[in-house]
Amino acid sequence: MGEGLPISGRPSGLKKTLLKAITKKQLLLLNEIKLNDGNTITALLNRLSNESKMPLSTLKRNAFILRHLELIEYSDFAPARLTKAGDLVLGMVGEKP
Protein backbone atom coordinates (compact mmCIF):
# COMPACT_ATOMS: atom_id res chain seq x y z
CA MET A 1 0.00 0.00 0.00
CA GLY A 2 1.10 3.57 -0.68
CA GLU A 3 1.93 6.11 1.94
CA GLY A 4 -0.51 8.71 3.24
CA LEU A 5 -4.24 8.84 3.19
CA PRO A 6 -6.06 7.62 0.09
CA ILE A 7 -7.49 11.11 -0.41
CA SER A 8 -4.17 12.91 -0.09
CA GLY A 9 -3.52 12.84 -3.83
CA ARG A 10 -6.96 14.16 -4.78
CA PRO A 11 -7.79 17.26 -2.75
CA SER A 12 -9.81 18.70 -5.62
CA GLY A 13 -12.15 15.70 -5.53
CA LEU A 14 -12.61 16.05 -1.80
CA LYS A 15 -13.17 19.79 -2.18
CA LYS A 16 -15.89 19.14 -4.76
CA THR A 17 -17.54 16.66 -2.42
CA LEU A 18 -17.47 19.11 0.48
CA LEU A 19 -18.86 21.90 -1.69
CA LYS A 20 -21.82 19.66 -2.58
CA ALA A 21 -22.37 18.67 1.06
CA ILE A 22 -22.03 22.12 2.66
CA THR A 23 -24.50 24.80 1.54
CA LYS A 24 -23.54 28.40 0.83
CA LYS A 25 -25.41 29.48 3.96
CA GLN A 26 -23.51 26.94 6.04
CA LEU A 27 -20.23 28.07 4.51
CA LEU A 28 -21.15 31.67 5.36
CA LEU A 29 -21.84 30.61 8.95
CA LEU A 30 -18.54 28.73 9.20
CA ASN A 31 -16.69 31.81 7.99
CA GLU A 32 -18.56 34.15 10.35
CA ILE A 33 -17.91 31.84 13.30
CA LYS A 34 -14.21 31.70 12.42
CA LEU A 35 -14.12 35.50 12.52
CA ASN A 36 -16.23 35.60 15.70
CA ASP A 37 -14.81 37.86 18.39
CA GLY A 38 -16.33 36.13 21.40
CA ASN A 39 -20.05 36.44 20.68
CA THR A 40 -22.52 33.74 21.61
CA ILE A 41 -24.29 31.96 18.78
CA THR A 42 -27.44 33.99 19.52
CA ALA A 43 -25.66 37.34 19.21
CA LEU A 44 -23.78 36.22 16.11
CA LEU A 45 -26.92 34.93 14.35
CA ASN A 46 -28.92 38.05 15.24
CA ARG A 47 -26.19 40.29 13.82
CA LEU A 48 -25.84 38.20 10.69
CA SER A 49 -29.61 38.13 10.17
CA ASN A 50 -29.78 41.93 10.40
CA GLU A 51 -26.80 42.45 8.08
CA SER A 52 -27.74 39.86 5.46
CA LYS A 53 -31.55 40.10 5.71
CA MET A 54 -31.54 36.31 5.98
CA PRO A 55 -34.30 34.92 8.23
CA LEU A 56 -33.08 34.18 11.75
CA SER A 57 -34.83 30.79 11.63
CA THR A 58 -32.78 29.82 8.57
CA LEU A 59 -29.55 30.74 10.31
CA LYS A 60 -30.56 28.86 13.47
CA ARG A 61 -31.40 25.73 11.47
CA ASN A 62 -28.06 25.83 9.67
CA ALA A 63 -26.18 26.40 12.93
CA PHE A 64 -27.98 23.37 14.38
CA ILE A 65 -26.94 21.26 11.37
CA LEU A 66 -23.31 22.40 11.64
CA ARG A 67 -23.28 21.57 15.34
CA HIS A 68 -24.80 18.15 14.64
CA LEU A 69 -22.02 17.57 12.08
CA GLU A 70 -19.53 18.60 14.80
CA LEU A 71 -18.17 21.46 12.71
CA ILE A 72 -19.05 24.12 15.30
CA GLU A 73 -19.51 24.30 19.06
CA TYR A 74 -21.72 26.65 21.03
CA SER A 75 -23.69 26.87 24.25
CA ASP A 76 -25.86 29.46 25.97
CA PHE A 77 -23.07 31.56 27.45
CA ALA A 78 -19.92 30.46 25.63
CA PRO A 79 -18.66 31.98 22.37
CA ALA A 80 -19.48 30.12 19.17
CA ARG A 81 -16.38 28.57 17.64
CA LEU A 82 -15.23 26.18 14.95
CA THR A 83 -14.14 22.70 15.90
CA LYS A 84 -10.94 21.29 14.41
CA ALA A 85 -13.09 19.55 11.80
CA GLY A 86 -14.90 22.80 11.02
CA ASP A 87 -11.62 24.65 10.61
CA LEU A 88 -10.37 21.90 8.31
CA VAL A 89 -13.53 21.96 6.18
CA LEU A 90 -13.45 25.76 5.91
CA GLY A 91 -9.78 25.66 4.98
CA MET A 92 -10.44 23.11 2.24
CA VAL A 93 -13.43 24.78 0.60
CA GLY A 94 -12.28 28.36 1.01
CA GLU A 95 -13.31 31.04 3.42
CA LYS A 96 -15.74 32.89 1.15
CA PRO A 97 -19.16 31.45 0.25
pLDDT, tens digit (0-9, with 9 covering 90-100), for 19-67: 788 999 999 999 999 999 999 999 999 999 999 999 999 999 999 999 9
47 inside domain: yes
CATH of the domain at 61: 1.10.10.10
Residues 40/81, Cβ–Cβ less than 8 Å: no
56 lies in which domain range? 22-93
How distant, in Å, are the alpha carbons of 17, 80, 89, 92 from that of 95?
16, 17, 9, 9
- Concatenating the DSSP letter of every residue in 52-79 gives H---HHHHHHHHHHHHHTTSEE--SSSP
Write out pLDDT tens, residues 4-14.
444 444 557 77
57 inside domain: yes
Q: Rounded to whole angstroms, how far apart are CA atoms 43 and 72?
A: 15
How many folded domains does the chain comprise?
1
Q: 50: Cβ–Cβ under 8 A, 6 or more apart, which residues?
A: none
30 inside domain: yes
